[in-house]
Amino acid sequence: MENLIIFTDGGANPNPGPAAIGAVLKNSAGKIVGCISQSIGYATNNVAEYRAVVAALQMALKLGARRVELRSDSELLVRQINGQYKVKAAGIRPYYIEVKQIEQQFTDCIFVHIPRELNEAHEYAEKG
């Protein structure tokens, strides 16, 4: 599997509070090749967003992806990973470092901010 598009999300309710992560991985033909949906215990929204990215990138590696485009509705996360914002919160720094380490294992890895309404599972579910 050469190319993947990955959609990730994470959140806590309340913030901080019980948290969960999710991701959908699609191949270049648009077929869903992997999904993640899991509770991660007590966390902040930002930690959940980062943990979703880490889990999705690890799955992409296991699937043999060489190029990934990761899409997230977290503008903070995307801008931090792309170097536009500094990572100031000590609680997310370890996850940021992990993302940057995993990112190096791909030939190409880009992070794109998308509007929240485009980051819903029903938008990417296979039809038929």
Q: How far is CA 85 from CA 1, 32, 54, 78, 80, in A?
A: 32, 31, 19, 9, 5
Q: How many domains does the chain have?
A: 1
- Structural domain including 23 reads 3-124
Helix (H, G, I), strand (E, B) or coil at 31: coil
pTM for the predicted model, two decimal places: 0.92
Tens-of-pLDDT digits for all 128 residues of the chain?
799 999 999 999 999 999 999 999 999 999 999 999 999 999 999 999 999 999 999 999 999 999 999 999 999 999 999 999 999 999 999 999 999 999 999 999 999 999 888 776 544 444 33
CATH number of the domain at 14, please.
3.30.420.10
Alpha-carbon distance of 20 to 13, in angstroms, equals: 9
* Eight-state DSSP code of residue 75: H
Dihedrals phi, psi of 115, to nearest 5 degrees: -65, 145
Beta carbons within 8 Å of 9's beta carbon, 6+ residues apart:
21, 22, 23, 49, 52, 72, 73, 74, 119
Judge whether 9 and 53 are in contact, CB under 8 Å: no
